Amino acid sequence: MERLFKAAPKSDIYLFPELCSTGFTLKPELMAEKVNGTTAQRMLQWAAKYDAAFAGSVMTSDDDGRFYNRMYFARPDGRLDYYDKCNLFVYSGEDKVYTAGKEAVVWEFRGARIRPVICYDIRFPVFLYNRNEYDIMLISAAFPTSRMLAWDTLIKARAIENMCYVAASNRVGVDDFGDYCGHSVIINPYGQLVGKCRSGCQGTTTVELDWELLTNLRSRFLF
């Protein structure tokens, strides 16, 4: 992970896919980390070292033995925020193994308001409805190749309807549930593609967001 982002241009925020340090499994008891565990601590180290925020979903267990699909947001000042996936993928049995989060959150970082989202969350537009609460949607995902049409369509729709930027990081590779080709992208509030990773392999894309575009769009419509 460090090799990949070090090779990319310097950024304010780095985003990794869903369960970025392990891959997806329905046996979290084998590899889940404790709250603020190894991966979260490494992200904090990177945040301090590279003066940036690092976000990504991590398999996490609490002291009561509950498991969470948790996105951490590590900041340069040592602060560690998190969001627990609220909409678990019932068709795989994720809801039988993991505990759903209780609420949506918004983080503020360097003038931007950020809404964290994990994979299946993107299928719930009312859950993600933006009442001028956020500017960027960060999506960590493990969306399979078989559902790429849905992935490409839904993340564009979320950008357009919420008049926000969407940064969507999706895994690549193969596991027991299928294969994954990435399609990691950054989309502007008009639904236009402004950054894209190569499909089928690990990589990065970096974009400087146009805040004037965002402000002008919102001033003309509901915001």
pLDDT value of residue 176: 85
pLDDT value of residue 178: 87
User: What are the backbone angles phi and psi of residue 38, rounded to the nearest 5°?
Assistant: -55, -50
* Distance set, CA 165 to CA 24, 54, 134, 136, 214 (Å): 26, 17, 9, 5, 8
From the candidates 20, 33, 85, 164, give the one annotated as an active-site residue.
Answer: 85
94 is catalytic: no
List the beta bridge partners of residue 54. Answer: 14, 74
212 is catalytic: no
Classified as helix, coil or strand, 184 is coil
From the candidates 20, 86, 119, 197, give the one annotated as an active-site residue.
Answer: 119
- Residue-wise pLDDT for 26-80, tens only, equals 999 999 999 999 999 999 999 999 999 999 999 999 999 999 999 999 999 999 9
- What is the C-alpha separation between 220 and 6, in angstroms, rounded? 39
From the candidates 18, 20, 164, 181, give the one annotated as an active-site residue.
Answer: 18
85 is catalytic: yes
Q: Is there a contact between 57 and 19 (Cβ–Cβ < 8 Å)?
A: yes
- Residue-wise pLDDT for 146-163, tens only, equals 999 999 999 999 999 999
- pTM of the predicted protein model: 0.96
